[in-house]
Structures are given as C-alpha cells and as structure tokens.
Structure 1
Amino acid sequence: MTPGLGDLLRLARFTVSDPRAGARAVLMMDLPLQARWLVLVFSAVAAALVTSVGLTLLPPEVQALLGDDLPSPLASAALQVALLVVASGVIHRVGQWRGGKGNFADAMVLVAWLQFILVCVEVLQLVAQLVLPFVADILGVLGIMLFFWLLSHFVAELHGFRSTLAVLGGILVVMFGMAFVLAAILMPVLGA
C-alpha cells in the first residue's frame, strides 16, 4: 500500500519529534531502488516549485533586486537533484570512512525524506509570509536548526553511530571543508 499525503505528513511530524525512530520507519519501508530515485527526484522538484512560488510572492522591490538571473524551476529542480545525490554520496562515503554501516540507497532515501520535511516547513513559511510575515522569519531560522537536527540524527541512525553531537560536529567539518575546496576551485574561474 502506498502512503498518502496525510500519512507522510503524520510521519514527518513524528520524525521531527523523534528523528531516529522516524528515520528507522522510513528505512523499514524498504523501497526498491527505482522508487528511492523517484522519491529523491520528487522531493527536489517539490522544493524547486515551492521556492519558485516563494520568489513570485516577494514584494516587487525585492524581485527587482534579485533581477532576471534566477534559474528556471526546471533548472532549479535539476540542480536540487544533483545536490541531493552528492549529499547522499558524501553521507554514505564519509560515514563508512568513519566506521558506519549505512549504504548509498539508504542515505539517498533519508536525504529525500529530509528534503520533504524541509519542503513542508517552506510551505508553512510561505503561508506565514502572507499572513504574519514576522512568523515566516522565525520559521526560516527554525528551518535551519531543524535541518541540522534531523541531518545529524539521520546520519547517526543510518550508520549506527551513538553520538548525534559527534555526528553534528562531523557534518559541520565536512560542510566547511567542502565549502573551502569549492571556493578554491571556483576562485580562479570566477576571479577573486
């Protein structure tokens, strides 16, 4: 039986309150690899569409500041898919390097699940932007905190690590390291 949207939203709420148990529940679905790819692509497309809607709801003066250089929703979705695949690969490889037991397919489904939950938060943020803009700002900050909270628990559960705090430290080190390498690669291309 395929879960409906209501089931997914209930599981998302449960996952936020107990991330490791939520991650286990997602992994116990034991989706075939093709379904995992579809879930990943769907979550990326949903994120791109919600972001696109959010950009159209910005005040005209903010839209003017952003200009016409924003990517199309299709290009944004393709970029999202690429980033989610890279994130899955990094989570898998770095976790295994540190003695973890997780695999790429499980990393991919957990990354897609994390993206789905963040899309739900972004939808709430869009609704708040229309009704109570200051709440949208608070939701934005909470969304960033939720990202790190869930990611550290998901990685810990995926790889069988005990300390989510140590995992969070590892995530931050890897993120800063990747940002440094990316900056070193792009600086000569883009010009410092």
Structure 2
Amino acid sequence: MPPEPAPPGLLALLRESITTPQKLAARLMRWGLPLGTVVELVVLLCVLDALLVGMVGGGRFVLPVSEDEMLSLGPLAHAVLLFVSLTLSAGAIQVAGQMLGGRGRLTEALLLMGWLEVVGLAVQVVQALILLLLPPLAGLAALAGLGIMLWCLVHFVRELHGFHSYGRTIATLLLALVALAIGLTLLLGPFIAPLEAAHV
C-alpha cells in the first residue's frame, strides 16, 4: 500500500485559499473537526493575533468607534473581542444561509471564519512589508488585500452552504452583516456610551 500523502503546509493552504478558495473550504470541512477542537483553535488564533497586534501597536489595540473617538483595548480585551466577533460572524452566516436553504453547520462556519482570519493575518504581513519596502504601493496593497478577503469570504460561504449561485451567497452575507452589526453594537454599547458622554 502506498504511503498517504503528507498534509499540505501552511503556505500551501494559504496559496490554495486565494487560488481555489472553494476547494480549500471543502478540504477544511472534510477534516471533520469537533466543535470543541474548532473553538480551541479559534481561541489560540485570537491570542496569537492579540500578541501580534500588541507588539506592533505598543501593547494596545485602537478601535475607531466614531469620527473623533477611539477605543483603546489591551491584548486580552482584543483577544476576547476578536473571539466574540468571529463567533458572531460564524453564527450569523450559518443562520442566514440556512434561512435561504443552505446546509452549513456552526462548527464548519466557525472553522472557515477562523481560517479567514489566518488569511487576513497573512495579508496584513504582506501589506506591512510593502509599506516598508515600497510605500507608494501601500494603497494598492490595501485594496488588493480587501479584494482577497472578499473573494475568500464569498467562496467560503458558497461552499459552506452548498449554494450553486452567487445570488443566495451574497444575500446570506448581507443578512449576516446586518445581524453582526446589531450584535456588535449591543456588545460595544457599554464601552462606547461613556466615551460619548465624556465627549459631550
């Protein structure tokens, strides 16, 4: 019996995320990871992201909450907020897709949202290098990074719910965006209100 091929490395998975995102999403879901394992992986990812942001930002993460107000978060608060955001995103995409006839499950949705965050971190690293080496191209790199994230998200959601058209995929994302905006507003409300009161 021939030996089983070695699992692809991180760089190969990242490359596949961009070139064939729907195929990559199918590969990740075939792993069949239980919810507990996915949650642990997402928590680890959030902690690593918070440490990276903390090192780059001097230990603080700044979140814009209005045109002239910023909310400064420590690494722990950043990790918690990121975890909640990813969980809410996964739940919103799963529920919205099922409302439109999709088949996605929460475990798979959370796994794909976690991997999308990995792709986002890789994009940020590339953008930082371009900013250091080729500053005039920083704006173009930012637009390209946004395009890559949207490209991956659309195809991840399409594969998650088994949609054959982009119409229901886009509708799922719009419904999920509205639900996520409401959820984050309720979540950040207790922190934003004191800032607004102090500004008045």
Match of 2:111 in 1: 109
In structure 2, the CA distance between the partners of 1:77 and 1:17, relative to structure 1 (3 Å rule), is same
CA–CA distance in structure 2, aligned partners of residues 114 and 152 of structure 1: 11
Residue 177 of structure 1 and its aligned partner are, at CA, apart by: 6.0
Match of 1:32 in 2: 34
Q: Say if 2:93 and 2:172, in contact at 8 Å, map to a contact too.
A: no
Residue 54 of structure 1 and its aligned partner are, at CA, apart by: 3.6
Percent pairwise identity: 29
Match of 2:148 in 1: 146
Match of 1:162 in 2: 164
Gaps of 5+ in 1: 57-65
Gaps of 5+ in 2: 59-67
Q: Say if 1:121 and 1:139, in contact at 8 Å, map to a contact too.
A: no
Q: Which residue of 80, 83, 86 maps to 2:85? A: 83
Q: Give the AA of the match of 1:120.
A: A
The answer to whether 1:118 aligns with 2:105 is: no
> Is the helix fraction higher in 1 or 2?
1
Q: Give the AA of the match of 1:79.
A: L
Q: Say if 2:16 and 2:24, in contact at 8 Å, map to a contact too.
A: yes
Residue 147 of structure 1 and its aligned partner are, at CA, apart by: 1.8
In structure 2, the CA distance between the partners of 1:184 and 1:40, relative to structure 1 (3 Å rule), is closer
Residue 69 of structure 1 and its aligned partner are, at CA, apart by: 5.1
SS of the residue corresponding to residue 10 of structure 1 reads helix
Residue 15 of structure 1 and its aligned partner are, at CA, apart by: 1.5
CA–CA distance in structure 2, aligned partners of residues 53 and 133 of structure 1: 21
In structure 2, the CA distance between the partners of 1:184 and 1:156, relative to structure 1 (3 Å rule), is same
Name the TM-score, length of structure 1 as normaliser.
Answer: 0.79
Q: Give the AA of the match of 1:24.
A: A
State how many pairs are aligned.
Answer: 181
In structure 2, the CA distance between the partners of 1:145 and 1:68, relative to structure 1 (3 Å rule), is closer
Name the TM-score, length of structure 2 as normaliser.
Answer: 0.76
Q: Give the AA of the match of 1:157.
A: E
The answer to whether 1:171 aligns with 2:168 is: no
In structure 2, the CA distance between the partners of 1:70 and 1:31, relative to structure 1 (3 Å rule), is same
The answer to whether 1:46 aligns with 2:59 is: no
Q: Note the aligned Cα RMSD (angstroms).
A: 3.2
Residue 38 of structure 1 and its aligned partner are, at CA, apart by: 1.8
In structure 2, the CA distance between the partners of 1:183 and 1:102, relative to structure 1 (3 Å rule), is closer
